[in-house]
Amino acid sequence: MNSHVKTDLAPIPFIDVAAQRARLGTRIDEAVKRVLDHCRFVNGPEVVELEQKLAAFAGAKHAVACASGTDALAMILMAWGVKPGDAVFCPAFTFCATAEVVPWVGATPVFVDVLEDTFNIDPASLEAGIKVAKAKGLTPKVVIPVDLFGQPADMDAIGAIATANGLKVLCDTAQGFGATWNGRRTGSFGDATATSFFPAKPLGCFGDGGAVFTDDDDLVPVLKSVREHGQGVDKYENVRIGMTGRLDTMQAAILLEKITIFEDEIAARQRAAERYNAALKDVCIVPTLDPRATSVWAQYTIRLPHGVRDGLAAALQKEGVPTAVYYRIPMHRQPAYAEYPSAGNGLPVCERLAGEVISLPMHAYLDEASQDRVIAAVRRALGA
Ligand SMILES: *Cc1c(COP(=O)(O)O)cnc(C)c1O
């Protein structure tokens, strides 16, 4: 390292949850105190209020709050009655939860390749995956497009393939809540959408949380039943197999405060992404947005030639700049998932990206001075 490089600076946070709390002042504390006072910790009034706000924000008819993004995905598959013998198509370049819920209902995940520029599901590979599933005697049932790193998947192409093949579309917008496609927010596409309020997601709570969005009136009571142990009209009648999938009232109260500043935070993330793009586009491959999409920048992920990424991470670490690699091992190479089929030819784009990607600090409170430190450190490490 050059001697002029300062190493005594405080480390930059990868995601800054504390800055957001400071901005909201006493509002979160007051919201939590209201719940402590009314004591309706489960199914309290804040949960219903949040569901209404979330649906309005997304432009969906209904929102059903739940305990996590993973539960949101699982609840939808359970409510649809997805079962053994059914194929559920998932991109292999994603967080494991997208595919994890599929074996929970006894169905088979079929892994599909992604597009090199957007990191999202490749429509041509989806079509290949449908052929593979049929050849294996599986019934193609559901596709789960993921809005990776905050950018919506190609809803037009996926929707057309789904219609032609009788697939339901379950959008996984755990990373993309608040983003738009053709001017419409995520949560308003497909047959149902799952999102997550894990603290590191664009809209995060102070623990685990999630939600389902749908325009399907008939699905809502089924989702609510699944969320409460498959209860029927009577609480202690069980009409289906369900789970404990509720969102805590406390988390709902916190989210009701956070959602009031979410649009402003999305704008701040967009500004940070544009600054990164302008400052780094000559030294690495910066993220590409489809012209029909906006992103909420859950991650700012660059690409470098194979073999360069881990050295960059080590150099940045020495300068107090954290990085992360999403995702080092694509799903079809994970030991727990290796037995499941994939769309064929080894999913070359997922495998290439897994060796090239690295994510830089990104959040709504990344001030320009900190970001300039990240940029300078990246450029120095890459010898630019
Ligand atoms: C985080 C995430 C999930 C799971 O959300 P949890 O709330 O952590 O259960 C699902 N899919 C994707 C793409 C995610 O990033």
Can you tell me the distance from the alpha carbon of 210 to that of 77, in angstroms, rounded to the nearest whole number? 15
At 8, the pLDDT band (50, 70, 90 cuts) reads low
Residue 203 maps to a domain: yes
Q: CATH number of the domain that 214 lies in? A: 3.40.640.10
Asked whether residue 198 carries a pLDDT value surpassing 50, the answer given is yes
Tokens of 296: 């909420």
165 and 251, same domain (yes or no) = yes
Indicate whether 46 belongs to any domain: yes
Q: Given this model, what pLDDT does residue 6 score?
A: 47
Reported as a pLDDT band with limits 50, 70 and 90, residue 18 is confident
Residue carrying structure tokens 């500043």? 261
pLDDT of residue 2: 43
Looking at the CA of residue 175, tell me the nearest atom of ligand 1.
Answer: 15
| Same-domain status, 204 and 286 | no
Residue 8 lies in a domain: no
Write down the pTM of the prediction.
0.96
Q: Is the CB of 251 under 6 A from ligand 1?
A: no
Say yes or no to pLDDT of 115 above 50. Answer: yes
Closest CA to 247 of 275, 279, 223: 223
pLDDT per position as a tens digit, 222-265: 999 999 999 998 888 999 999 999 999 999 999 999 999 999 99
Average confidence score pLDDT of the chain: 96
Let me know whether 96 and 242 are in one domain: yes
Domain assignment present for 229: yes
Task: Give the model's confidence band at 344: pLDDT under 50 very low, under 70 low, under 90 confident, else very high.
Answer: confident
Cβ of 175 less than 6 Å from ligand 1: yes
In a domain, 340, yes or no: yes
- From 206, 226, 260, the end of a domain falls on 260
- Judged against a pLDDT cut of 90, whether residue 46 lies above it is answered with yes
Q: Which of 260, 275, 309 is the last residue of a domain?
A: 260
With beta carbons less than 8 A apart as the criterion, state whether 247 and 223 touch.
Answer: no
Compute the distance between CA of residue 356 and CA of residue 88 in angstroms, rounded to an integer.
27
- Calpha distance 216→218 (Å, rounded): 6
Place of tokens 């956070």: 258
97 lines ligand 1 (CB under 6 A): yes
Residue 356 Cβ inside 6 Å of ligand 1? The answer reads no
- Structural domain count of the chain: 2
Closest CA to 309 of 297, 319, 317, 299: 317
Check whether residue 250 and residue 303 sit in a common domain.
Answer: no
Residues 6+ positions from 18 with CB-CB distance below 8 Å: none
Distance 173 CA to ligand 1 centre (A): 8
Co-location of 201 and 277 in the same domain: no
Is residue 273 over pLDDT 70? yes
| Neighbouring residues of 359: CB distance < 8 A, sequence distance ≥ 6 | 149, 299, 300, 301, 302, 323, 324, 325, 326
pLDDT of res. 119: 98
CA of 229 to the centre of ligand 1 (A): 22
Domain final residue pick, 260, 281, 307: 260
Mutational pocket test of ligand 1: of 98, 151, 195, the residue with most ligand atoms within 8 Å of the beta carbon: 98
Residues 138 and 210 in one domain: yes
Q: Are 92 and 351 in contact (CB under 8 A)?
A: no
Span from the CA of 94 to the centroid of ligand 1 (angstroms): 9
The pLDDT tens digits of the residues spanning 143-183 come to: 999 999 999 999 999 999 999 999 999 999 999 999 999 99
CA of 196 to the centre of ligand 1 (A): 6
Residues 314 and 247 occupy one common structural domain: no
The catalytic position among 61, 134, 136, 201 is: 201
Domain assignment of residue 12, yes or no: no
Domain of residue 146, residue span: 22-112+119-260
pLDDT of 4 above 50: no
For residue 13, pLDDT over 90 is answered with: no
Question: Are residues 97 and 230 part of one domain?
Answer: yes
Confidence grade of residue 295 (pLDDT, cut at 50, 70, 90): very high
Is the CB of 101 inside a 6 Å radius of any atom of ligand 1? no
Residues 369 and 330 in one domain: yes
Q: Which atom of ligand 1 is nearest to the CA of 94?
A: 13
Q: Are 240 and 270 found together in one domain?
A: no
Are 84 and 161 part of one and the same domain?
yes
Q: Are residues 281 and 177 in the same domain?
A: no
Residue to mutate (ligand 1; options 175, 212, 246, 295; most atoms within 8 A of CB): 175
Atom of ligand 1 nearest to the CA of 98: 11
Identity at 275, one-letter amino acid code = R
User: Which among 15, 77, 95 is the best mutation to test ligand 1's pocket, defined by most ligand atoms within 8 Å of the CB?
Assistant: 95
Q: Among candidates 162, 163, 167, 165, which has minimal Cα distance to 141?
A: 167
Say what angle helices 249-258 and 17-24 make with each other, to 10 degrees: 80
249 is a domain residue: yes
Higher-confidence residue of 345 and 73: namely 73
**Are 190 and 159 within 8 A, CB to CB?**
yes
Q: Is 201 noted as a catalytic residue in this protein?
A: yes
Helix axes 97-104, 69-80, angle to 10 degrees: 40
Q: Residue 372 is which amino acid?
A: D
Determine if ligand 1 sits within 6 Å of the CB of residue 65: no
Whether residue 241 lies inside any domain: the answer is: yes
Q: Does ligand 1 come within 6 angstroms of the Cβ of 245?
A: no
CATH number of the domain that 286 lies in? 3.90.1150.10
Q: Which long-range contacts (CB under 8 A, 24 or more apart) does 366-375 make?
A: 366/12, 366/16, 366/268, 366/272, 368/275, 370/12, 371/272, 371/275, 371/276, 373/9, 373/12, 373/319, 373/320, 373/321, 374/12, 374/276, 374/316, 374/321, 375/275, 375/276, 375/279, 375/280
